[in-house]
Amino acid sequence: MFRLLVGCGPSLLPEEPEDHHSARQSGNTMAPPAAFLRTITIDHTGAQGDGRAREGEGWVSVPFTLAGEVVEVSGQGDRLKPERLIAPSPERAAPACRHFTACGGCTLQHMAPAPYAAFKRDLIVRSLRARGLETDVTETWVTPPGSRRRAAFSARRSGKAVLLGFHGRKSHHLIALEECPVLRPAIIAAVPKLKDIIAPLLIGKDDLGLLVTETASGLDLHVTGVPKQAARLARAEVTGAALRAGFARVSLEGEDVLTERAPRLPVGAASLLPPPGGFLQASAEAEAEMARLVLAHLSSATFAADLFSGCGTFALRLAERIPVHAAESGRAAIEALRAAARAAPGLKPVTADARDLFRNPLAPSELARFDGLVLDPARAGAAAQCAEIARSSVPRMAYVSCDPATLARDLRTLADGGYRLLSVHPVDQFLWSAHVEAVALLEKS
């Protein structure tokens, strides 16, 4: 993806996108005037994956750069544009994808594996220290390439062509997908078929959203942003194209319009039929690693609660050994969990409630019957629920988080309530991004 400027070292500018919506206007394709170019040295990698450097009295961000690199940049303000790499870091790696720097999906393909894993771990360490927490933070578990089973694409019409791919970084430009080393091969191979399936729905100017999941019985497609004026004929054309393409299920705006085969996912000994567009862990490998940590920590529990349970990632696995109570605000997810639990032979009793734990958390009196807890909240964390848990006597808990800052905030609450933080395990589910998951293990005497 990097162009070479003859005699000037490698350029960090991305290739021009193929989408005509993102093409530069005529006369603006020349390099920035020399007066706007200057050279800076990158100090460290920031929390969003950008290089950070001192300029004047403040800090600036430069994407696709690494600590110690000398870079020629353009632009003003705190977000600069890299123009030329003068002195590369020994920790720089060759990007794995031709779309890197243009596509907004990955930000860290230019970082070698060891410093990349260390960067993810450091995100958690720094967040914990900011809250006065010290504990064992293990090395980062990194999901392998080609393993993400779920992709959120955008699609639009460009003339007679259908463009399908990911948006550019912080833009509405659409990068037409030709490859993706993160996704499972079956999803990439289905891109031409996806274009045929959704073409009849592209009758407006707005993008369609496509959530594609690889399941044990085939691909599951959920489409959002469908124009209201989409005729019944267009929907019939969609289902016909999906049948010819061999898709398991197609849903539009949450409505199931085709189920050729139930798109099931294994969850331990259970088989889950997720609701259309419902939340799932993006990587089965990462899900298995997080479940391994949770189940090992709660191995001595006799009755557990799975709070913010989703469709039962942890509850269904725990129920292979002990009774479980699950709580989650999404009714469709709870119904899917209940159905999976009923159909799985040999599971211990599973109860499940549709309950908004942000507004109506379980109180200490309700928590008293459990000797094990697992929490897996959204990015906002679980402030209200953790305040109640801190007042409880539940002896062991596991907190699964997708945001180091809210994790640290909630762990501080739990620590102040008498919980001891045993360890935190970084899990890199979203490869080459600046996001990191974590499993925190706690106990209370």
- The residues carrying an active-site annotation are 402
Nearest by Cα to 197 from 146, 149, 253, 249: 249
Residue entry with tokens 């469908």:
226
C-beta neighbour count of 18 within 10 angstroms? 16
- Let me know: does 223 contact 251? Beta carbons within 8 Å: yes
Residue entry with tokens 């274009």:
195
Please give the structure tokens belonging to residue 47. Answer: 């929390």
- 3-class secondary structure per residue, 229-267: CCCHHHHHHHHHHHHHHCCCEEEECCEEEEECCCCCEEE
Secondary structure E strands in 141-285:
141-142, 150-158, 161-167, 174-176, 208-215, 218-224, 249-252, 255-259, 265-267, 270-272
Q: Which strand (E) or helix (H) includes residue 45?
A: strand 44-45
From CA 266, how far away is CA 253, in angstroms rounded?
25
From CA 164, how far away is CA 341, in angstroms rounded?
37
- Let me know: does 257 contact 271? Beta carbons within 8 Å: no
Angle between helices 113-130 and 404-416 (to 10 degrees): 40
Backbone angles phi, psi at 390, to 5 degrees: -60, -25
Nearest by Cα to 101 from 51, 64, 153, 49: 64
Burial class (CB in 10 A: 0-12, 13-18, 19+), 158: middle
Backbone angles phi, psi at 345, to 5 degrees: -70, 140
- CA atoms lying within 13 Å on the CB side of residue 296: 11
Spell out the residues 6+ positions from residue 106 whose beta carbon is closer than 8 angstroms to its own.
Answer: 97, 100, 182, 431, 432, 433
Dihedral sign (CA 237, 238, 242, 248): negative
